């Protein structure tokens, strides 16, 4: 039987309560929401917090809305809620593409968006999705709110910009009328972690030239989950198969996969390139030239 070590448990009554508890207990306190990353790690004693702060009652942290030109996703929003959200799918199909392949429907009932990005697992799907979307994280501590671009959010495997006495409250994705987006993943079986995956967000001008592009990579060793070289190569070029192939080659060249039970380095590098091409192709097919849908 897998049982976590002893810990104390508190059910938070407000975000301020969370911050107060985190301050008092220091780095030995951990926030628990869905618990589907943290509880397995506690069972294996890979994590051994002294205090768990349960945020599941903080309804102000959940929900999806559009406000001030941004799609706003509360940190406590469940994966199942994001997948079921018409407004999220309408603006950014990449979110639904990714959610469909994250774990399984029952895990998605419980796991949260904020928990996934704060876990910062190198194989986690939403990290590359939010970096490709150039989302911004809103983090709250004793000094109030501060914002962190998702491209500066990840500090390495399982490490983020969220400090010990802070809590992620929201992710904000700037709306991009007409942009197309997609996420493609290769996994070994239903619900598994990615062998590799890629996400793309593409904006086109009236001539089909790429005006802005975001490319996220999952599970291939990019500390910030972003294929910057491929983006730079694509910006200003006509979105065609030659351009996608060049971007894919750049993504494959610059990623840093490691060999593990999911595959050797050369296979993962090949996937990074090919999935970048496919994500770009699918995102472009969903984009509207000139910015606005007809």
Partner 1 sequence: MGVTVNGVEHVRDVEPRLLLVHLLRDELRLTGTHWGCDTSNCGACIVWMDGLPVKSCTVLAVMADGRSVRTVEDLEGPFGLDQVQQSFMDCHGLQCGFCTPGMLMTARKLLDDNPDPTDTEIRQAISGQICRCTGYRNIVAAIRHAADAEAVGRGDT
3-state secondary structure of 192: coil
| DSSP conformation letters of 217-246 | EESSS-TTSB-HHHHHHHTTSB-SHHHHHH
Q: Total number of residues binding partner 1 (CB under 8 A)?
A: 30
Assess 36 for contact with partner 1 (CB under 8 A).
yes
Assess 109 for contact with partner 1 (CB under 8 A).
yes
Question: Look-up: residue for tokens 């496919």?
Answer: 278
Cα 235-236-237 angle, rounded to 5 deg: 95
List the one residue out of 54, 47, 48 whose CA is nearest residue 10.
54
How many residues in the chain? 294
Could you tell me if 180 and 147 are in contact, meaning their C-beta atoms sit under 8 angstroms apart? no
Whole-angstrom Cα Rg for the chain: 19
Per CB under 8 A, the list member of 64, 83, 103, 136 interacting with partner 1 is: 103
Q: Which stretch binds partner 1 (CB under 8 A): 36-44, 88-96, 205-213, 275-283?
A: 36-44
For the window 186-215, what string marks contact with partner 1 as x by the rule CB under 8 A?
A: ----xx------------------------
Residue 55 in tokens = 């945020």
Which of the residues 110 through 139 are near partner 1 (CB under 8 A)? 110
Per CB under 8 A, the list member of 69, 105, 156, 174 interacting with partner 1 is: 105
Helices 241-254 and 265-286, interaxial angle, to 10°? 140
8-11 and 51-54: which strand pairing? parallel
CA–CA dist 260, 253 (Å, integer) = 19
Judged by phi (left if over 0) then psi (alpha if -120 to 50, else beta), residue 35 lies in left
Per CB under 8 A, the list member of 15, 47, 66, 107 interacting with partner 1 is: 107
The residue (of 191 and 291) whose beta carbon lies closer to partner 1 is 191
The residues facing 138 across adjacent strands are: 147, 170
The residue (of 81 and 274) whose beta carbon lies closer to partner 1 is 81
Per CB under 8 A, the list member of 6, 59, 67, 143 interacting with partner 1 is: 6
The residue (of 102 and 213) whose beta carbon lies closer to partner 1 is 102
The residue (of 36 and 176) whose beta carbon lies closer to partner 1 is 36
Which of the residues 169 through 188 are near partner 1 (CB under 8 A)? none
Q: Which stretch binds partner 1 (CB under 8 A): 4-12, 16-24, 65-73, 138-146?
A: 4-12
Q: Which stretch binds partner 1 (CB under 8 A): 38-46, 65-73, 164-172, 217-225?
A: 38-46
The residue (of 3 and 206) whose beta carbon lies closer to partner 1 is 3
Could you tell me if 105 and 191 are in contact, meaning their C-beta atoms sit under 8 angstroms apart? no
Q: Which stretch binds partner 1 (CB under 8 A): 29-37, 67-75, 240-248, 263-271?
A: 29-37
Which of the residues 50 through 69 are near partner 1 (CB under 8 A)? 52, 54, 56
Assess 14 for contact with partner 1 (CB under 8 A).
no
Could you tell me if 18 and 31 are in contact, meaning their C-beta atoms sit under 8 angstroms apart? yes
The residue (of 52 and 94) whose beta carbon lies closer to partner 1 is 52
159-160 and 64-67: which strand pairing? unpaired
Judged by the rule CB under 8 A, the positions of this chain that interact with partner 1 are: 1-9, 11, 32, 35-36, 39-40, 42-43, 52, 54, 56, 80, 103-107, 109-110, 190-191
């Amino acid at each position: 039987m897998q049982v976590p070590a002893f810990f104390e448990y508190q059910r938070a009554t407000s975000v301020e309560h969370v911050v107060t508890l985190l301050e008092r207990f220091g780095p030995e306190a951990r926030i628990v929401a869905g618990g589907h990353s943290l509880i397995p790690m506690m069972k294996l004693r890979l994590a051994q917090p002294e205090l768990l702060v349960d945020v599941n009652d903080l309804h102000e942290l959940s929900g999806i809305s559009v406000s001030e030109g941004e799609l706003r996703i509360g940190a406590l929003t469940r994966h199942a809620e994001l997948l079921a959200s018409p407004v999220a799918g309408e603006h950014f199909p990449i979110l639904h593409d990714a959610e469909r392949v994250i774990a399984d429907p029952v895990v998605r009932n419980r796991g949260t968006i904020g928990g996934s990005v704060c876990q910062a697992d190198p194989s986690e799907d939403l990290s590359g999705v939010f970096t490709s979307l150039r989302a911004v994280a809103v983090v709250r501590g004793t000094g109030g709110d501060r914002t962190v671009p998702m491209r500066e959010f990840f500090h390495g495997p399982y490490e983020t910009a969220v400090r010990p006495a802070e809590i992620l409250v929201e992710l904000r994705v700037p709306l991009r009328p007409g942009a197309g987006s997609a996420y493609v993943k290769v996994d070994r079986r239903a619900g598994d972690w990615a062998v590799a995956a890629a996400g793309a967000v593409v904006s086109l001008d009236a001539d089909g030239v790429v005006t802005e592009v975001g490319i996220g990579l999952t599970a291939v060793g990019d500390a910030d989950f972003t294929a910057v070289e491929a983006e730079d190569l694509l910006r200003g070029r006509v979105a065609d198969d030659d351009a996608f192939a060049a971007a894919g080659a750049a993504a494959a060249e610059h990623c840093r996969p490691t060999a593990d039970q999911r595959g050797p380095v050369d296979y993962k590098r090949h996937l990074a390139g090919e999935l970048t091409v496919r994500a770009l192709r699918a995102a472009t097919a969903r984009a509207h030239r000139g910015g606005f849908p007809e």
